A and B are shown apart, each in its own frame.
Chain A
Amino acid sequence: MTKLNDTRLVERVPPSPLSFTRPFWDATRDKRFLLQYDPRNGKYQFFPRPVSIYDGQGELEWREVSGEGEIYSYTIEVRARPPFQGHEPFALGIVTLKENVNVMANIVNCDREELRIGLPVRVCWLPLSNGTHLPAFEPRR
């Protein structure tokens, strides 16, 4: 098995939320994954935006989701910039959640041989210094 780095030891700068992304980051304090939901069109969206990507209106709901999905695509970072330099190789994935949105995140707790498109994954949380968490994904075994 070829080990990929989990990047758990990387000292990440906690994100500075924007006025309309704050609910997402606030919920990560309790390791809850919120998605914006457009009730008029019955669809979710990610990343958080100031308006619905479906009809341009701003009235959106925040809904908690399971954080389960599968890998849509991935790449293995062999070169990185600080603070990730020295933690290569690590995996980044685009994950399609069950709610049909794509999320880009670190894929952790996963060997190179296991990593593939279509791999079922679930969210796991990497702690940040300000009490919020960064979503990452690991295989559902």
Chain B
Amino acid sequence: MSLHDCAIVGYAETKIVEKGTKDVWELSGEILGSLIRTTGIEKGAIDGLILSSSMTSAGNVFWSQTVADQLALQVNFAQTVDIGGCSPLGTVARAAMAIDSGLCNNVLCLFADTQASEDNRPKRPFRQEWTSAIGYLGPPTAFGFISKRYEHQFGLDYAALGKLAVTQRNHAILNDLAVEKLRKPITVDDYLNSRMIAEPIRLLDCVMVCDGASGVLVTSRKNAERKGFTKAAIPLGYGEITHYRAGESVFDITETGHLVAARKAFEQSGTKLSDIGSFHPYDDFIIAIMLQLEMLGFCKRGQGCAFIRETDLSHGGDLPLNTGGGQISAGQAGLAGGGTNLVEAVRQLFGEGGKRQVANRKTAVVTGIGGIPYTRNFATSSVMVLSSNA
């Protein structure tokens, strides 16, 4: 298996802002410049470019070429990954594939989106036919359905979900790059009393759409060793599944593709849940974190709330959770938002977490959620196990 033959040797992240004045290409340039400075890998040596899709680039069928042009990168491999919020994590797996097959050596994985200030999504008839006509609000509605069904099957302790919101908010306060509006403490009561959006989904269940960018630099492990990188994050295992149980008309929407993706990622990595030093699940809605705790096997199905009540999820706790605040508390940089979870995991593995550094920086797990299809849960679910070379 080739995945672990590559290494993330650098990460970069911009400040996340509510609605920025910087163009998406300017943010992209900041990521490139930062990665060149921190890794010492020169621009001319970057010969692969893999982008996450973005709401700003929507409709542009020349996106990876155009970004390469803007950044003046001559590359042997250019691609945009379009699996929604799973795209940032997906770029790392695809970079490993491209490097392993000899297409390129040093890949810039770049996630930039200015959805808050420039959302260019075109309308496709699907939405108009089956969802727009009924007043479907999008993800809040979908998570409303999932929450109600979960509550029906297992019961749902909203105060336990509130604990997730509070924990992540406390982490965002320690993260200078998190959107300023959310860097204030909240209580479980604040969560419970926040206004309803799509019952039972509350305001503090939801991410806030923002502008921002992040990225990682991926090279072969051999090259990383040759160049003497003392800090590297090795992807040990990866599972990605799109349209889990697509050939079934009706299935349990409290079960997600993470069940299968996690099994694959953990088998491939040779690690166990108990090895995990920090957990960085994709968090567009609070309950998505709880579902993933169940799907990855931290607890049995239906036991997510009990697990949350019994576990210290703070950066100094039993299972450090989204130690930079996650997307819910750091802000969601559109479809680049998955980069926020990924970059924080890499930062922890590098031992650069500062005030929020976790004790065990050997292993981190990052996940992705991409899209929510009609009457189902997630269009794509992904899980990656990363290890430091420390």
Which residues on A are within 8 Å of B, measured CB to CB? 7, 10, 12-13, 15-18, 21, 43-47, 53-54, 72-81, 84, 87, 89-90, 92, 94, 96, 100-106, 117, 134, 136
Contacts and interface: CB of A to CB of B under 8 A. Distances in A.
B130 A78 contact: no
B125 A16 contact: yes
B136 A104 contact: yes
Interface in B123-140: 125, 128-137, 140
B137 A13 contact: no
B198 interface: yes
Determine which residue in A13, A72, A103 has the highest number of CB atoms from chain B within 10 A of its CB, and name it.
Answer: A72
Contact of A74 (B128, B137, B148, B246): B148
B250 A101 contact: yes
A100 B137 contact: no
Given A76-B199, A78-B199, A106 B130 contact: no
A70 B294 CA distance: 27
A121 to B, nearest CB: 14
B302 interface: no
Given A79-B140, A104-B375, 14 more contacts: A15-B128, A15-B129, A47-B374, A54-B247, A73-B146, A73-B148, A76-B199, A77-B135, A101-B249, A102-B249, A103-B375, A104-B374, A106-B134, A117-B152
Nearest to A17: B129
Contact of A53 (B130, B249, B375): B249
A81 B137 contact: yes
Contacts of B148: 73-75, 117
Nearest to B148: A73
A102 B198 contact: no
A96 B145 CA distance: 13
B276 to A, nearest CB: 31
B195 A78 contact: yes
A90 B132 CA distance: 14
Determine which residue in A44, A73, A104 has the highest number of CB atoms from chain B within 10 A of its CB, and name it.
Answer: A73
A96 B130 CA distance: 16
Given A96-B250, A101-B249, A72 B149 contact: yes
A59 to B, nearest CB: 17
Contacts of B199: 75-78, 89
Given A101-B249, A102-B249, A117 B149 contact: yes
A78 B249 contact: no
Contacts of B246: 53
